Amino acid sequence: MSDFTFGSLPHKDLTSIAQLSTAEVGLIFDTAAELKKNRRQHDALLKGRKLAMIFEKDSLRTRFTFDVGMQDLGGHAVFMDHRDARIGARESIRDVAKNLERWVDVVVARTFKHRVVTDLAESCSIPVINGLSDYLHPCQALSDFFTLHEKWGGQVAGRKIVYVGDGNNTCHSLVHTAAKLGAHITVCTPEGYEPNSKVVNEAMREAVSTGSEVVIVSDPHKAVEGADAIYTDVWASMGQEDEVEERNAIFLDYQVDEELMALANPDAFFMHCLPAHRGAEVTAGVMDGPQSVVFDIAENRLHVQKAILVLLLNK
Ligand code: CP
Ligand code: NVA
């Protein structure tokens, strides 16, 4: 029987990686590692606790892993499908929050506007977790880096991760986390699709103390030289469906294919948050090839989010 002592995070919510310290990210990783190693031994940690999942967008991984994660820990999840109407349309976000806090212990929100997640968090007395907004995807980035932390024996600092594609929500949280952990992050996008300057500035400030290098470039062939991991995501995110054709043309040279992978270090990993489009942002050969760790990342969503739930609720 494991004698691991579970700690807690000193924050009410998890809406952005920017709010976490490097040590707190380490605490999440240590907790996730324990929950992964001894998955069946912690089935009463959140006994009787209830999670509300309130989603404006589709989801496979986030929805399943939070639901299964609560079940693993002895708790229960309730899914609220908000795809037909944005949160705050039928009644104010504050009123939604004031209701939810009377029934459940924690909320995961997946939204279009990031402001909806932060408004929910500010209005609720219970923890609110960002399950993806148009701006950030913190649970994803923590799972991405937890996977690298496992693969590299805890030595993430000083490694080079190259994100190729759209400077979107996934990219933003990846940049935040890299800077937090002292990893070097190069973001390579077509002109006009760079990551948000606020995120880049936050990461660059953080990088001064962690030794991370944050670089924004546009040439994928140069960008991936010396890369220890190459990451990509869809070219059109949820909500940008009407831009698919235009983006497919603009991002054509940013496909992660075998030729691009060959320019990185020979043991470089291929990473993707999923869902992926084989033949668009990644070739089938890379996605399903030996360097791909995409399903390890997907598995780790479960362990990392269980850690987040425990650390936010263990007060
Ligand atoms: N990566 C991710 O968040 O997947 P879903 O959109 O399926 O939840
Ligand atoms: N950038 C993608 C991530 C999906 C997990 C989107 O927002 O649709």
User: What pLDDT is stored for residue 115 in this prediction?
Assistant: 98
At residue 53 the predicted structure's pLDDT band, cuts being 50, 70 and 90, is very high
Averaged pLDDT score across all residues of the chain: 98
Instruction: Please check the confidence at residue 156 and state whether its pLDDT lies above 90.
Output: yes
Half-sphere exposure (Cβ direction) of 24: Cα atoms closer than 13 Å: 16
Together in a domain, 63 and 126: yes
Ligand nearest to the CA of 62: 1
Asked if residue 147 has its Cβ within 6 Å of ligand 1, the reply is: no
CA of 117 to the centre of ligand 2 (A): 16
- Residue 26 included in any domain: yes
User: What pLDDT is stored for residue 126 in this prediction?
Assistant: 98
Cβ–Cβ under 8 Å, residues 235 and 248: yes
Q: Considering the entire predicted model, what is its pTM?
A: 0.98
Instruction: Please check the confidence at residue 1 and state whether its pLDDT lies above 90.
Output: no
- Residue 266 included in any domain: yes
Instruction: Please check the confidence at residue 274 and state whether its pLDDT lies above 90.
Output: yes
Asked if residue 157 has its Cβ within 6 Å of ligand 2, the reply is: no
What is the amino acid identity at position 288? D
Backbone phi, then psi, for 268, in 5-degree steps?
A: -65, 145
Together in a domain, 131 and 189: no
- Residue 6 included in any domain: no
Residue with the nearest Cα to atom 2 of ligand 2? 237
Together in a domain, 277 and 156: yes
Cβ–Cβ under 8 Å, residues 307 and 32: yes
Ligand nearest to the CA of 298: 1
Asked if residue 274 has its Cβ within 6 Å of ligand 1, the reply is: yes
Ligand nearest to the CA of 140: 1
- Residue 38 included in any domain: yes
CATH, residue 65: 3.40.50.1370
Mean pLDDT of 208-224: 98
Half-sphere exposure (Cβ direction) of 157: Cα atoms closer than 13 Å: 9
Mean pLDDT of 266-285: 98
Together in a domain, 129 and 151: no
- Residue 4 included in any domain: no
Together in a domain, 249 and 260: yes
Instruction: Please check the confidence at residue 138 and state whether its pLDDT lies above 90.
Output: yes
Asked if residue 294 has its Cβ within 6 Å of ligand 2, the reply is: no
Together in a domain, 68 and 132: yes
Together in a domain, 81 and 21: yes
Together in a domain, 163 and 94: no
CA of 59 to the centre of ligand 1 (A): 5
Together in a domain, 149 and 57: no
Asked if residue 189 has its Cβ within 6 Å of ligand 1, the reply is: no
Q: Which of 132, 277, 294 to mutate to test the pocket of ligand 2 (most atoms within 8 A of CB)?
A: 132
- Residue 7 included in any domain: no
User: What pLDDT is stored for residue 315 in this prediction?
Assistant: 83
Mean pLDDT of 117-144: 98
Mean pLDDT of 60-81: 98
Together in a domain, 92 and 232: no
Together in a domain, 55 and 148: no
Closest Cα partner for 196 from 39, 69, 16, 31?
Answer: 16
Distance CA 127, CA 121 (A): 7
- For the stretch 109-126, pLDDT in tens is 999 999 999 999 999 999
- Residue 10 included in any domain: no
What is the amino acid identity at position 307? A
**Which residues are tagged catalytic?**
110, 137, 140, 233, 273, 301
Domain that holds residue 212: 140-297
Together in a domain, 57 and 93: yes
User: Atom of ligand 2 at shortest distance to CA of 169?
Assistant: 1
The structure tokens listed for 274 are 């999923």
- Domain total for the chain? 2
- Residue 11 included in any domain: no
Mean pLDDT of 221-235: 98
